[in-house]
Amino acid sequence: MLARRLLLILLFASLLLHLTSCSPERRLANNFVTKREPVAFLLLPPDFSYKYSYKIPDIENFESLPQATQDSLLFYNSDLLQYINDSTLINGYINGLNSGLKALGYSVYLPGSTENFVNSASESIIVNLAQLQLEEFYDSISDDASFGDEELYSYELYITALNVNSWIELSRVNHNDTATQTLYASSTLTDYFDGGFRYFPLSGDVKYTYSIDSLRVEDVYYSVNNLGYLYAGYLFDYLMNDYIQKNLPPGRLATQLYTFDRYAGMVRKQKGSGFTLLN
């Protein structure tokens, strides 16, 4: 009898712990996932992307040249930017965003179907990719190692890197809050690098060997398409956390950000990156 009572007490305590551990924030997050509102998005692409190269050419007195000349030389000294087609780049980004939002269960519309978007739902959002910026530069790779009591060996080399910076404006339609919100995200693409020191015990020599698989324009298109899909999840998370904050009791601030794991179909604490709200 005593053992049975102890078991019941433990079961009750476990249930109580589970109930109390489900915070109001998490309950609101699960409620947002269930409701899936707003139900429709209109995606607006930019007309072009901004491209900046910071790979300084080997030209004497480069800094003394007129700024327009410097900009032109920088652009044509790039390994990627001068060959990137804006139409292909932007279409890939928007297609990735489109696929990601549809995978989350939303209706998605493009500029050619604006009228259908307006008539589609009582609450919807316009997603304007206000600015897409690419920055090409050299990134340094440093490595060091020691073998036994010998000196510390160091090696440094440079690889190509490309920042993909996004500014996205959200405008709610048929909603009490119609203020435009600007979100920002940045991701960096680089050459694939693999290398390390090799020690030859018989001769005592130390050599550094490496291989580089350089970024290609096709890699940029592929990666930007994947970023669009990833940012659909960022957008869902931003709207979910915004929903949580607005539905908490007045004066209470959310203590934890959440993310929706679309593959597991569950809400988790957000530990990685996401959109940054600029206004």
Q: What pLDDT is stored for residue 157 in this prediction? A: 92
Q: What pLDDT is stored for residue 242 in this prediction? A: 92
Phi, psi of 153 (to 5 degrees): -100, 140
- Is residue 278 pLDDT above 80, yes or no? yes
Residue identified by tokens 């990134």 is 139
In tens, the pLDDT along 3-22 reads: 566 555 555 544 444 444 56
In tens, the pLDDT along 93-121 reads: 999 999 999 999 999 999 988 888 888 76
In tens, the pLDDT along 196-241 reads: 988 888 887 889 899 999 999 999 999 999 999 999 999 999 999 9
Q: Out of 170-174, 241-245, 248-252, give the one with best mean pLDDT.
A: 241-245
- Beta partners for 189? 162
Q: What's the burial of 120, exposed, middle or buried (CB within 10 Å: 0-12/13-18/19+)?
A: middle
**Where residue 153 falls among pLDDT bands split at 50, 70, 90?**
confident
- Is residue 165 pLDDT above 80, yes or no? yes
CA gap 81, 52 in Å, rounded: 8
**Cβ contacts of residue 270 below 8 Å, gap of 6+?**
237, 241, 256, 257, 258, 259
User: 156-194 burial by CB neighbour count: b if 16+ within 10 A, else e?
Assistant: eeebbbbbbbbbbbbbbbeeeeeeebbbebebebebeee
CA gap 28, 80 in Å, rounded: 44
CA distances from 117 to 37, 102, 166, 179, 182 (A): 15, 14, 24, 19, 21
Q: What pLDDT is stored for residue 16 in this prediction? A: 44
Strands (E), the chain: 40-44, 50-53, 107-109, 124-146, 152-173, 181-190, 192-200, 205-213, 258-261, 266-269, 276-277
* Mean pLDDT value across the chain: 89
State the average pLDDT over residues 34-38. 80
User: Does 147 or 96 have the greater pLDDT score?
Assistant: 96
CA gap 220, 178 in Å, rounded: 35
CB 173 within 8 A of CB 37: no
pTM of structure = 0.85
Q: What is the DSSP letter of 244?
A: H
User: Does 272 or 196 have the greater pLDDT score?
Assistant: 196
Q: What pLDDT is stored for residue 111 in this prediction? A: 93
Q: What's the burial of 25, exposed, middle or buried (CB within 10 Å: 0-12/13-18/19+)?
A: buried
User: Does 274 or 8 have the greater pLDDT score?
Assistant: 274
CA gap 240, 244 in Å, rounded: 6
CA distances from 279 to 49, 170, 181 (A): 22, 11, 6
Phi, psi of 119 (to 5 degrees): -95, 5
Q: What pLDDT is stored for residue 19 in this prediction? A: 42
Strands (E), 19-123: 40-44, 50-53, 107-109
Phi, psi of 99 (to 5 degrees): -65, -40
